[in-house]
Structure 1
Amino acid sequence: MREIDPTLRAIAAAAVGGTLVVWWPAFTLGAYNAVFFDNVLTLWAVATAVLLSGAILRRRGSVPWGGWVALLLPSIWIVLAAATPKSHGFPYLHYAEALLTLVGAPMLTWLLSRILVPDYAALPVFQRLGAVAATIIVGVLAFLLGKFNYLFLTCADFDVSGNNSPAHCAHGQPFHRR
């Protein structure tokens, strides 16, 4: 096998990192019309780890100012969720958490790629944006897979995996028994 192109390695590493964060929230938004709290908390954990790493370094320019804002968004969501009354609910908080997850994941992809993938900064802008675009495309596709889950999954598939069945799933045996 010949050597893998370093450009492909950098773009793929960035795209894979982003899609690992965005695919499940996008799928659940499609299947259940909700982003689950554990998805938002995963985004929070990753963002906070990078935020704290930058704070520990305490060097000017270690994280661009827009990066600090992006990294603080999940913590802001948690503060808003904690400050809102639980008895009356806050209907727009759900939309904020969905937006945070689906928009924050590509931003985190870009930021983490700059930090964790050594060859990423050397790539032309078009190729760097390609990794973010791949993350967004996978997110949209995951949403559509969730929305149309009944075409390839059954309610039993969700049950076997430990998830609740979405309202529009197909009845039948789980996939592994077919």
Structure 2
Amino acid sequence: MATAAVGGTLVIWWPAFTLGAYNAVFFDNVLALWAVATSVLLSGVVFRSRGALPWGGWIALSLPSVWIILAIVAPRGHGFPYLHYFEAALSLVGAPMLTWLLSRILVSDYAALPLLQRLGAVAVTVAIGVLAFLLGKFNYLFLTCSDFDVSGNNSPAGCAHGKPFNRF
């Protein structure tokens, strides 16, 4: 279960942080979710392990590809005005769903586990997402604008001015 929780938190922490810091989920976050979901989907197809997931899981793993198709077909000039809501929902709901799906695939006796243990990995992923959002929202408490600049990110509104914190 810990492996699935780690996989889910690796996908959710940065989108949740940027949502808190910038009020946006960036495209590279959604593409990371797409890469993980698509690799699990294709692995299931290659290894023919469809029985490991319900049909809803296969649909959930396909959603990041749907986002890419929508982004491609949306008119460039006008855009699809609500596509960014789909991006945020896909990232923030998709990571816990991906954790659940990974748990079903990676844990051979998943169905025999008590419900609380089955939900544990998803709960850890959700908790990390909430904490990462709060860290992004209150980034000025422990980061400076220079920290964002040095890392190659734009400084979010309301960041603390000053030199980057010395970490080592």
Provide the rounded CA distance (Å) in 2 between the counterparts of 1:61 and 1:119. Answer: 14
RMSD: 1.7
SS of equivalent residue, structure 2 residue 82: helix
User: How many angstroms does 1:120 deviate by?
Assistant: 4.3
Provide the rounded CA distance (Å) in 2 between the counterparts of 1:89 and 1:102. Answer: 22
Unaligned runs of 5+ in 2: none
Unaligned runs of 5+ in 1: 1-9
After superposing on structure 2, the runs of 4+ consecutive aligned residues of structure 1 that deviate more than 6 Å are none
Corresponding residue for residue 39 of structure 2: 49
Corresponding residue for residue 141 of structure 1: 131
For 1:173, give the aligned amino acid: K
Corresponding residue for residue 32 of structure 1: 22
Q: Is the 8 A contact 1:13 1:117 kept in 2?
A: no
Matches of residues 1-178 of structure 1 in structure 2 within 5 Å?
10=1, 12-58=2-48, 60-118=50-108, 120-176=110-166
TM-score by length of 2: 0.93
Corresponding residue for residue 7 of structure 1: none
User: How many angstroms does 1:89 deviate by?
Assistant: 2.1
Moved more, 38-47 or 49-58: 49-58
User: How many angstroms does 1:122 deviate by?
Assistant: 4.0
Change beyond 3 A, Cα 1:68–1:163: same
| 1:108-141 alpha-carbon deviations (Å, 9 max, x no partner) | 0010122124464442111110210111011011
For 1:175, give the aligned amino acid: F
Change beyond 3 A, Cα 1:127–1:60: closer
Q: Is the 8 A contact 2:30 2:91 kept in 1?
A: yes
Moved more, 58-67 or 149-158: 58-67
For 1:58, give the aligned amino acid: R
TM-score by length of 1: 0.88
